[in-house]
């Protein structure tokens, strides 16, 4: 397909709390991706950085920041920010440059140095900012929202805290096998249940941490890949960055005080489901074609929601799919073979890129002890603040 671009290199800096600046993590990931691609930084025609709002001006212009750290060489540069969807937006921008013929090789980099505890809004008073308002007026931190969402699933679909715990058990088992993961220990359902309550019904082990980390990809045109000797590379076939459709019936962070469905009949398709649908339509594929999925498990309950939004099962059947073992390695559609955010924590601009790294390694057969048999198609999915959709489909 003419819209495909090749993934020549994938690289990461391990997640953790390392006490260094985000640039160090991004440069390490970039160099690893370039080495994986067998290319030099001077071979790169463009660099796209996924921004971090926690890095001051260098974080706001991360593309130029990484270019300077790697050594000025004249490459095109772009910097993007879309909260949790920043990495996918960066991949989308890189792909557009390649397909437009502006560059043969593009380096995509995201990295973060996260604060201790939950994320807070950027400084200053902004009464027209829904994110600021939900913190300052409602006191709704991210864990509060996660807890409310979990309660909704319990009330609407009958999910239980035991179901949520099994998501953590599954993901921790995979994270224990991932050298880039921050948390590399298996946990039991009993340990999840014994951890401290953070936002009822969710406990400490139900909610992801904030982390430091970095991830990078080297993307190229298919023609360059062939010239470079990569006859059959992993290929990105779709990047979905859609916005919601008015009205919405599920109140998403941070717009938790607005329900436009009171006045207008809803469209019938939730926002997250529209993200996946757009990716499937662009790729000419469907849920039945998938070998694996990497989703944003900000909380254990949210992973179950992604099962439904990706079309892996029907509405309200996420917990049933989990109980059947379908989303575990060896199941019909393994989810979060990397270990997910449960094992990594959030390094916001890096995580969507890291998801594509995991899919790339799985499709190449290079995932080590996490390797799935016969992996051919993978999807990644997450959602950024204020309606930033994010899904990437890669094939082999």
The two beta strands, 76-80 and 46-50, are parallel
* pLDDT value, residue 122: 73
Residues 302-337: pLDDT tens digits?
Answer: 999 999 999 999 999 999 999 999 999 999 999 999
Residues 35-63: pLDDT tens digits?
Answer: 999 999 999 999 999 999 988 899 999 99
* pLDDT value, residue 113: 95
pLDDT at 249 over 70: no
* pLDDT value, residue 2: 59
pLDDT at 1 over 60: no
Q: What is the mean pLDDT of residues 106-133?
A: 86
Distance CA 333, CA 329 (A): 8
User: Which tokens is 395 given?
Assistant: 């094939």
* pLDDT value, residue 258: 65
Which of 256-265, 329-338, 347-356 comes out lowest in average pLDDT? 256-265
What value does the mean pLDDT of the chain take?
94
pLDDT at 65 over 70: yes
Bigger pLDDT: 133 vs 279: 279
Assess contact for 103 and 45: CB atoms under 8 A.
yes
Query: How many residues belong to the chain?
Result: 396
- Residues 6 or more apart whose CB falls under 8 angstroms from that of 77 comprise 46, 47, 48, 49, 63, 64, 67
5-115+212-236 shares its CATH topology with 130-206+237-395? yes
* pLDDT value, residue 257: 65
Q: Where are the domains of the chain?
A: 5-115+212-236, 130-206+237-395
Q: What is the mean pLDDT of residues 148-157?
A: 95
Assess contact for 292 and 362: CB atoms under 8 A.
yes
Residues 371-381: pLDDT tens digits?
Answer: 999 999 999 99
CATH classification code of 5-115+212-236: 3.40.47.10
Quickly state the pLDDT bin for 266 (edges 50, 70, 90).
confident
| CATH class of domain segment(s) 130-206+237-395 | alpha beta
Distance CA 102, CA 191 (A): 52
User: Which tokens is 20 given?
Assistant: 């260094």
* pLDDT value, residue 151: 96
Quickly state the pLDDT bin for 131 (edges 50, 70, 90).
confident
Distance CA 32, CA 217 (A): 9
């Amino acid at each position: 397909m003419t819209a495909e671009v090749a993934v020549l290199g994938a690289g990461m800096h391990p997640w953790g709390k390392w006490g260094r600046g985000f640039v160090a993590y991004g440069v390490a990931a970039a160099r690893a991706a370039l080495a994986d691609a067998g290319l030099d930084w001077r071979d790169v025609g463009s660099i796209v950085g996924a921004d971090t709002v926690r890095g001051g001006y260098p974080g706001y212009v991360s593309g130029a920041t990484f270019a300077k750290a790697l050594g000025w060489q004249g490459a095109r540069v772009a910097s993007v920010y879309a909260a949790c969807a920043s990495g996918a937006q960066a991949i989308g921008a890189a792909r557009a440059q390649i397909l437009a013929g502006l560059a043969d090789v593009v380096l995509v980099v995201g990295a973060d140095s996260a604060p201790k505890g939950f994320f807070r809004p950027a400084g200053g008073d902004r009464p027209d900012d829904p994110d600021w308002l939900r913190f300052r007026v409602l006191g709704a931190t991210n864990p509060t929202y996660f807890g409310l969402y979990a309660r909704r699933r319990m009330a609407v679909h009958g999910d239980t805290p035991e179901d949520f715990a099994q998501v953590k058990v599954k993901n921790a088992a995979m994270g224990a096998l991932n050298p880039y993961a921050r948390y590399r220990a298996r946990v039991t359902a009993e340990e999840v249940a014994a951890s401290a309550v953070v936002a009822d019904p969710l406990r400490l082990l139900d909610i992801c941490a904030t982390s430091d980390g970095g991830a990078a990809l080297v993307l190229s045109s298919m023609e360059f890949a062939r010239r470079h000797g990569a006859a059959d590379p992993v290929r990105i076939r779709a990047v979905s960055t859609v916005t919601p459709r008015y009205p919405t019936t599920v109140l998403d962070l941070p717009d938790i005080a607005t329900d436009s469905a009171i006045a207008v009949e809803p469209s019938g398709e939730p926002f997250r489901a529209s993200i996946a649908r757009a990716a499937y339509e662009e790729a000419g594929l469907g849920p039945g074609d998938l070998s694996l999925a990497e989703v944003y498990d900000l909380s254990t309950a949210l992973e179950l929601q992604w099962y439904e939004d990706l079309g892996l099962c029907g509405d309200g059947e996420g917990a049933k799919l989990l109980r059947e073992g379908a989303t575990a390695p060896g199941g019909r559609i393994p989810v979060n073979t990397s270990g997910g955010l449960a094992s990594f924590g959030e390094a916001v601009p890096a995580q969507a890129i890291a998801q594509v790294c995991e899919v790339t390694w799985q499709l190449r057969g290079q995932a080590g002890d996490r390797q799935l048999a016969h992996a051919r198609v993978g999807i990644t999915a997450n959602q950024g603040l204020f309606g930033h959709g994010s899904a990437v489909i890669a094939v082999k």
